[in-house]
Structure 1
Amino acid sequence: MSREYIKPNAWSIIEEGWNPDLVKSSESLFSIGNGAMGQRANFEESYSGETFQGSYLAGVYYPDKTRVGWWKNGYPEYFAKVLNAPNYIGIDIFIDGETLDLAAFDRKDIRNYRRELNMKEGWYERTFEIDLSEEKTIKVIARRFLCMNLDELATINYSVKAIKGQMRISFQPYIDAGITNEDSNWDDKFWDIEELQSTDHQGFIRSRTNKTNFYVCTFMQSELYKNGEHVQYADHFDKNDTVVRHKVATQISEGETATLIKYAGYTSSLNYEHFEILDAAKRVLHTAVEKGYPQLLQDQKEAWAQIWSMADIAIKGDLKAQQGIRFNIFQLNQTYSGKDARLNIGPKGFTGEKYGGSTYWDTEAYCIPFYMATKDQKVARNLLKYRYEQLDKAIENAEKLGFSNGAALYPMVTMNGEECHNEWEITFEEIHRNGAMIFAIHNYLKYTGDYSYVPEMGLEVMIGVARFWHQRATFSQRAKKYMILGVTGPNEYENNVNNNWYTNYLAKWCIEQAVNHLDKVKSGHKKDYERIVGLTKISNGEVASWLEVAQNMYEPYDEELGVYLQQDGFLDKEIIPVSDLKPSQRPINQKWSWDRILRSCYIKQADVLQGFYFFEDHFSREQLEKHFDFYEPLTVHESSLSPCVHSIQAAHLGRMDQAYQFYLRTSRLDLDDYNHEVEEGCHITSMAGTWMSIVEGFGGLKIINDIPSFTTRLPEQWDSFSFKINFRDQILKVHVTADKTTVTLEGESTQDVIINGKQIHLEPETVKI
């Protein structure tokens, strides 16, 4: 059951009415970020109620020592955690000496409470009125944003208006390094404070992470305005072991407004030498004050206008669907900008700490298509480069598990390339993630046509992965086939199974890809080929042994049903469709024991159907239909990554009601809190799947022989939808109605496209139907 309280709106996320029970959920939904840092929508002023405080800095992490009941050889030493960074949003408000704290007031005294996340312009605002007494009423408007162009800077505009009475308003802006993570394994101290400074209206805290030695300077400067006129800068008030606090105050009468503008943020040793971060922070503050709040806000609006000009998907006739896709696109752009190849996309982004903020296979399987099509190929290339630069660590990960000769096992969870997941059924067995690395390269080549990545970087990755699959396979004397034993597939509701079809098929395909590209590089890029052979010591004999495995890979299949089996023994289970489960038993991951789940037929997310999604051109429509009809009724969709794949496939099968329902679930998974867990953070990586549901599902985008093809389908709930893709530096705008599909080309050269089966030659700025 969903929990709906967000008001439908095409461009904003809106909450109306004060409800303290929703505070932590809203802190996730109204989170903001700029690719370099982000924060949950915590209150600036004091709040003594339940809250989940969180400000995060991309790329800064701590190796939290693994906590398990029984240590096993090969376990990672730590679980990487994105750190709750020093808090810079804090502004304590005192009205005639009394602390402003919403938790301290009766609900009836708080009126017109409203939050808005304006996605079109990239700012978050909270407004409310409070009856402080019979004689005094105030209105608060607090707006903040993280600058997209100056990604070390955040701004806060906090105003208090006297609706009734007169009062003295005191603002105490502060920065606080005395913070902890919600999810620490051992309550370790993640940060050491090296220096606190408060001078020239500016405050600074220099901190250092333990173990990883990231240096961060948290900074602030604030100024007071009265009725729009500058009054003064906030001056030093107090400093202790963890907090730098400034203060400024003024008297206001009925109708007057006092406003504090606070500039704050982080500089870090990711971008500077550790001894330079303080001076860098001063330069950021100088730029902020020189530009001023109005100009920074205008810059923010223009930055987001540029993003939306390419990334927007416009849906007519269905407001909730429109709000859902824009929320997903907005969060994806807040999480990752593509500017820094050292960074990646965590499943919760900057909205919470679950999953450690680390990188999963979600990036390669779900996220790259979004960034590839809505930005440019450099952004997608940076994501591929991220994995190439961690190849040595992937080889180390495999060595720890007993593999040799440069076999590479990419991590399930990582910050720096080392595996840091500590559940055995994931760490040791969910090895299908290795194949996603190669599929991402394949997807990139097909979409961009940029083959240069393969000889420069990609072929080495393919060789390492092929060596892993070759060594991981076991030859069965009984079946005279190669098998892959003891794995967990994408369906994490089955562990330690033999011959997961998706894993076996992916392994075979990865080897074939490596062999194919070895030949291509040898014939077309001889210098690179010689370099790679010298580096990897690969030989013709080794390649032949790979092919022996690939050509004789076992694929579990049931002749009677005509379907590939999720793994050996799947049909030994009691096959009961999800529709027969009582609602009281759902979700099973919260209601059932793990033992019961593992013995059931129920599927967490697409598994066999994940293979049919990746390799749709390997199978006929009839095969897809047969497998969809067998597996989808057994799928509980208790992974955020599940509805999008099923939406795409339902659309391809012409089952538009089902496709639409899956789309709505993935697009509003967090907005309507389907899983009753949004307070932990939003599902960022599955949001890329939401984009795919429209572009690849309803838009039917495929690349056929280097030509973009669109087979469009319009949900009956929509009047129309439109989107853009950047295909090889040519912009294609697709507009779909019930009557026609229109494609417009923005570019400098011609482009062939296929629209609903008909190949058309487009001239720039022309429209074809």
Structure 2
Amino acid sequence: MMNYSLGKGEHQNWVVSDVNFSEDSLGKSEAIMYLGNGYMGLRSTTEEPYLNEVRNCFVAGTFNKFDANEVTELPNIADVTRVDIRIDGKRFSLEFGETKEYVKQLNLKTAELIRTFDWVSPQGKELRFHFRRFVSLENLHVIGMKMEVEALTHPVVISFDSGINSQMTNSGAQHFHEGERRIFDKRFVQLIQTTTESKIDVVVNTVHKVMVNGKELEKEPIMEMDRRKVWLHFETELQQNDTLTVEKLTTVHTSRDKEAGHEPYDLDRLREISLTNLRQAFAKGYETLFTESTAAWQTKVWDRNNFHIESEDSYDLLALRFALYHLTIMTPAHDERMGIGAKAFSGEGYKGHSFWDTEIFILPFFTYSNPEIAKSLLKYRYHGLAGARKKAKENGFDGAMYPWEAAWPTDGEVTPVWGAVDIVTGEQTKIWSGFIEQHITSDITFAVWQYYQITNDQEFMDKYGYEMIFDTARFWASRLEWNEAKQEYHINCVVGPDEYKEHVDNNAFTNHMAHFNIKLAMEYYRELKTDRPELFASLEATLELEKAYTLWTEKIDNIYLPQPRHEDLVIPQDDTYLSKKIIDLEKYKNQAKVGSLFREYNLAQVNEMQVTKQADIMILFLLLENKFGPEVKQANFDYYEPKTLHDSSLSLSTHSILANDLGHEEMAYSLFKRATEIDLGPAMHTSDHGVHAASIGGIWQSVVLGFGGVRMLDGKLRMNPRLPKHWRELRFSINWHGSPLHVEITSDTLTIKSETKDYVVVEVFGQSYQFVEEVIININK
């Protein structure tokens, strides 16, 4: 059972807790309390094992293909979290005996996982357990664990096995060759793994410090090895009131690490580096390492973002901090060759692949708050141009056609071909997204443009951005299909953002975004040819821009762009959506679990109904806001929102932002609250397979872009804040054109402070303000 109020004092509204152990609902806390630092992620399983647990540890970028018939995925590396404990020779488990005052919690401020409880054994002996764990943000390779066991009522013999277990799989798929195992000085344990196909080496080291009442145990451990496993066995006797303390420190290094990538690569050198790192960590100990990591969190995350909400419901602030915590640990900010997985590092769902989720729902946080990380994520897409060009060529198109699912940047398309069972036919359902969900190409272009407009990072554009925009525009020009009868270009047989509508023609979002992509390329073509002839010449040599521009010019004005209908201003989501069957969706709108529609219909049947999985037309309004007037937005919101089931976690935040724009403040907050509860809420099975990374990005968007009213429109900064009625104040920081801006919003005023002496121009409710250092604006309308 979830509890959000256990944080006290300086940790108030920082702590997420599970206060009721249940072996039937382990996945919730394992996923939402997972630990990480962008380099790796560690699912927060308990130390002692349970049948329904899922132990995962992933390292960014270590993709491997298990078999020729499988797609590449992040492999589950060796586990170090499991500790097999015995009390008086009997296996310790909370399934036996009596458990009192159980609390498992994640402190977002310090990024530490804590679990405490008192336990009475079946023999009536009471012990107090206290577990702690962190993954360092200061030293990206370090995992720290600490266990304390106090004998409260009787003497007990306590023993435990702990080490490195590489008998791990991805739902049965074993990604590693069995590697070498060693124990140095009867203390430092090392295990080597190598992926079967990509041949990436992983070196895992661990060390223990075992103490009773603060004095290190003199008795040497028993050293054990088994297939894919190496561990130590410790045993001691505790008298009443004695305390056993165990510190376990681990380092993880791979041959994909940047520092290991210098030629010639040498595994022995990597082993030496990793073991040295562990020895240095061991000399410091858990508490020092944890203090260093906590300081890094404060400096790099909490101080930098300066977020605060004064709300009558303290959950709102906790939810925002939860989002910032996860946005930090899901992002491989250390390496531009790596992207963000749809489940982050919290579970095997979506195999660690990157989707449009990153550019549309996650990247805006970094573009506004930490542009260097945003640049790294966009450079990941730049490195993916090779795979995008390969996909375009394989499909008979020009330019760069980005994969729906991406792994290592040069891999190209890695979407699985087959998915879940069809409840009507009993056959396996084909996943069409990898073939025909193509809007991701223009989504990435939009993100490049948005980054440039917000940051003014000309160097990025010169080295990476222009090439991406031009080559994606080349793809769209070749993708357009001429309709002779209507004398216009169509984009047929696609999947738009609404994945309940497959093989549709002229999805409005896809068409408008493709048009945006080509038009943007034309603007930059003219600009570079006139003002930057040397850069233009280098790009012309690679991309044949003269030829491409001729095609763009011929086609741009003849692309069919779905427009509002005269009778009701509704924009057709695609050519046939508005003619499809309308059914009563009330029970599905109020569903306790997403996807309940598919208990009664299969996808082919849903394809023929006016029912939408997630924001489609609405996301178009958010990205290309200035193309549509308020009457059109209102008409389409009224039409599509009742038909949108929000079965995708990406959907609620977009609808929340638009609801707030349109003045539906109570609905906006309700949708925001539902978005926060996808992972953080009280339902105990929503996150079993991992957190919903894009939805977490959507939480930030709902607060800053929605309630804070922050937008970049045509290269200009706008803020039209509308706070929920029960919010007294909202504070946050963003970057605009290189100037850090600190924003404070109340019901009456908007205050913006700049850290630089540069002029800042902002539009607020239609009025332009130019200021240096600070401006205070009355927004009480």
TM bucket normalised to smaller = over 0.9
Report runs of 4+ in structure 1 exceeding 6 Å deviation.
Answer: none
Structure 1 counterpart of 2:496, one-letter code = G
The 5 A counterparts of 1:49-128 are 49-65=51-67, 78-103=70-95, 105-106=96-97, 109-128=98-117
Match of 1:197 among 168, 182, 188: 182
Report how far residue 665 of structure 1 moved.
1.1
Residue among 135, 140, 151 paired with 1:146: 135
**Cross-structure match for 1:71:** none
Match of 2:275 in 1: 282
Alpha-carbon deviation of 1:134? Answer: 4.9
CA-based RMSD of the aligned residues comes to 2.1
The answer to whether the Cα contact below 8 Å between 2:61 and 2:408 also exists between their aligned partners in 1 is no
**Separation in 2, partners of 1:144, 1:358:** 27
Q: Which residue of 1 aligns with 2:704?
A: 695
Structure 1 segment 158-173 matched on structure 2, within 5 A:
158-173=147-162
The residue number in structure 1 matching 2:750 is 741
Which position in structure 1 is the counterpart of 2:4? 7
Matches within 5 A, 1:317-328: 317-328=312-323
| 1:643-654 matches, cutoff 5 A | 643-654=652-663
Deviation at 1:37, TM superposition (A): 0.7
Deviation at 1:590, TM superposition (A): 4.5
Shift of 1:576: 4.2
Q: Counterparts of 2:748 and 2:461 in 1: how far apart (Å)?
A: 42
Determine whether 1:329 maps to 2:324: yes
| From 228, 240, 244, the counterpart of 1:258 | 244
Q: Determine whether 1:23 maps to 2:26.
A: yes
Contact 1:486 1:496 in 2 (8 A): yes
Identical residues among aligned pairs (%): 27
SS in structure 1 at match of 2:236: strand
Partner SS state of residue 622, structure 1: helix
Mean Cα deviation higher: 622-631 or 482-491:
622-631
CA contact (8 A) 1:196 1:205 kept: yes
Letter in 2 for 1:43: T
CA drift of 1:227 comes to 2.3
> What is the distance in 2 between the residues matched to 1:767 and 1:305?
28
After superposition, the C-alpha distances for 1:16-70 in whole angstroms (9 at most, x for unaligned) are 122222212221121111111111111122x233211211111112224475xxx
Query: Secondary structure, in 3 states, of the residue corresponding to 1:208?
Result: strand
User: Within 2, Cα distance between the matches of 1:471 and 1:705?
Assistant: 27
* Cα distance change, pair 233–531 in 1 and its aligned pair in 2 (3 A): farther
Tell me: CA distance 1:707–1:498, structure 2 relative to 1, closer, same or farther (3 Å): closer
| Corresponding residue number in structure 1 for 2:36 | 33
In structure 1, the partner of 2:340 is: 345
Indicate if the aligned counterparts of 1:576 and 1:634 stay in contact, CA closer than 8 A: no
Please state if 1:451 is matched with 2:458: yes
Deviation at 1:690, TM superposition (A): 1.1
Question: What's the counterpart of residue 302 of structure 1?
Answer: 295
Structure 2 stretches lacking a partner, 5+ long: 8-12, 418-430
Q: Does the CA-based 8 Å contact 1:374-1:726 persist in structure 2?
A: yes
Q: What are the equivalent positions in structure 2 for 1:363-512 lying under 5 Å apart? A: 363-375=358-370, 377-404=371-398, 407-417=399-409, 418-423=412-417, 424-512=431-519
2:684, 2:489 → 1: CA distance? Answer: 39
Contact 2:749-2:777 at 8 Å conserved across structures: no
Displacement, 1:707? 4.7
Q: Report what 1:560 is aligned to.
A: 567
In the superposition, the TM-score normalised over structure 1's length comes to: 0.93
1:74 is matched with: none
2:423 aligns to what?
A: none
- State the distance in 2 between where 1:101 and 1:236 align: 23
Aligned partner of 2:427 in structure 1 is none
Aligned length: 744
* CA displacement at 1:641 relative to structure 2: 0.4
Tell me, yes or no, if the aligned pair for 2:143 and 2:250 is still in contact at 8 Å: yes
CA distance in 1, matches of 2:523, 2:315: 46
Matched, 1:752 2:761: yes
Confirm or deny that 1:571 pairs with 2:578: yes
Extract unaligned runs of 5+ from structure 1.
68-77
- Kept in 2, the 8 Å contact 1:606–1:646? The answer is yes
CA drift at 1:339: 2.1
**CA deviation map 1:381-431 (0-9, x unaligned):** 111111111212111111111224xx2110011112310113452111100
Superposition deviation, residue 536 in structure 1: 1.7
Contact persistence 2:655–2:668 (CA under 8 A): yes
1:203–1:244 contact (8 Å) kept in structure 2 = yes
**Post-superposition offset of 1:597:** 1.2
Partners of 2:283 and 2:711 in 1: CA distance: 48
1:582 CA drift (Å)? 8.0
Higher relative contact order (CA 8 A, sep 6+): 1
Q: How far does residue 291 in structure 1 lie from its aligned partner after superposition?
A: 1.8
CA 1:90–1:19: 2 relative to 1, 3 Å? closer
Q: Structure 1 CA distance, aligned partners of 2:613 and 2:649?
A: 9
C-alpha deviation, 1:374, in angstroms: 2.1
Name the counterpart of 1:175: 164
CA contact (8 A) 2:28 2:688 kept: yes
| Match 2:741 to one of 724, 732, 735 | 732
> What is the CA–CA distance in structure 1 between the aligned matches of 2:272 and 2:473, rounded to whole Å?
48
Q: CA deviation at 1:559?
A: 2.7
Report the secondary structure of 1:452's partner residue: helix
One of 209, 228, 231 as aligned partner of 2:195: 209
Matched, 1:238 2:224: yes
Q: CA deviation at 1:583?
A: 5.1
